[in-house]
Amino acid sequence: MQANRKDRREFLKSSLGTTAAAVAWSQAQVRPLSAQAQPEPAARPPRIRFAAIGLNHGHINSQVESVIRGGGELVSFFAQESDLAAAFTKRFPQATLAKSARAILEDESIQLVVSASIPNERAPLGLEVMRHGKDFMVDKPGITTLEQLAEVRRVQAETKRIYSILFGERHENRATVKAGELVESGAIGKVIQTIGLGPHRMNPKTRPAWFFEKERYGGILCDIASHQFDQFLFFTGSTKAEIVASQVGNVHHPQYPGLEDFGDVIVRGNGGTGYIRVDWFTPDGLDTWGDGRLTILGTDGFIEIRKNVDIGGRPGGSHLFLVDQKETRYIDSSDVTTRYGERLVDDILNRTETSMPQAHVLLAMELALRAEKNAQRIG
């Protein structure tokens, strides 16, 4: 593990000069170790044609790969930044660089557009995608203001297009997918509460300028915590929810006044309660970007997921521990298949909601946005 970190540091030292290098480093940090170690099933034959617009976050790679595995044919992309375009072409040589975003929007053969543009530019792009009769899959946070959310809801209802946000901490983490199966089977009884912890590492040298501008990234609860709101709704089965209390602050980085480095939330839904904590304080001594955890408390037991690392010594990520009325056990999730991309393609073809209900997607972002807007400020 130490050797892996050394290799990454050498890569960083030699290639930090470009935006593309920053994105590559970001991708190495945010992609779960389990996803790196465990190969996914081979891609299915193409069932839809899709394109990418906006490559500003390294998550775009996992977004594209997810759709390809599900049966999507990547045909084109557009990015204003030449270095990002070059890096994307190297990774996905089958895709043609379009002359403009509009060229993609007006291509009637394209059914889906995926994006990881700068966060506050995602919803405006999604609106245009839907108005052009295409479905949209975007990196989190898919929306950065309540005003954007209202417009997304209006246009989505009018066009009946899909506005999907890839909450990777649930959809791309094998242990979390397995936990969903266990909860559905009644393994821990009725879910009472979720506790979602989303610590992240921050290296300012690898972060673009917009990362430190709250107007552009939306705030820490809007950004990182959107994952945890998605998981809270999913595991409690809540279809309605409210923010009980929230707080955010910049407690250790005064040199970046636009940054929020800590936030937490208490949320209550019609299916259970939740607590969320997110931060930018992962120390360098941990050999992954963050010790993300999810605890699911049920009436007959609980599940704890260590998403990226088991500090007890097991290698890789996607670690699941289950305690019920009989025993405590570790469940290996390495053979679990992530199916978000496949189900999204199914939804595009069949006009269904098997990947995520549209109401769930927008409620998760509404909770994140309301928690952010109404948060008490700490310093």
Indicate the CATH number of 170-338+369-378 among 3.20.20.140, 3.30.360.10, 1.20.1250.20, 3.30.460.80: 3.30.360.10
Residue 178 neighbours by CB under 8 Å, 6+ apart: 318, 320, 331, 333, 336
Give me the pLDDT at residue 43, please. Answer: 61
Partner residues linked to 125 by β-bridges: none
Give me the pLDDT at residue 375, please. Answer: 98
Contact 236, 271 (CB under 8 A): yes
CATH of domain 2-166: 3.40.50.720
Q: pTM of the entire structure?
A: 0.88
Alpha-carbon distance of 18 to 15, in angstroms, equals: 7
Q: 301 is written with which tokens? A: 């037991």
Radius of gyration of the chain (CA): 20
Q: Which residues, given as ranges, of the chain have pLDDT below 50?
A: 1-39
Alpha-carbon distance of 299 to 364, in angstroms, equals: 24
Best CA proximity match to 227, nearest among 196, 193, 183, 199: 196
- Residue spans of the domains in the chain: they are 2-166, 170-338+369-378
Give me the pLDDT at residue 313, please. Answer: 84
- Alpha-carbon distances of 229 from 236, 274, 346, rounded to whole Å: 11, 9, 25
Alpha-carbon distance of 379 to 254, in angstroms, equals: 10
Burial 165-174 (b: 16+ CB within 10 A, else e): bbbbbbbbbb
Q: H-type helices in the chain, by residue range?
A: 2-15, 19-30, 33-37, 59-69, 82-91, 101-105, 122-131, 146-159, 168-171, 174-184, 214-217, 220-223, 225-236, 340-350, 358-373
Give me the pLDDT at residue 31, please. Answer: 36
Contact 181, 159 (CB under 8 A): no
Best CA proximity match to 366, nearest among 156, 99, 145: 145
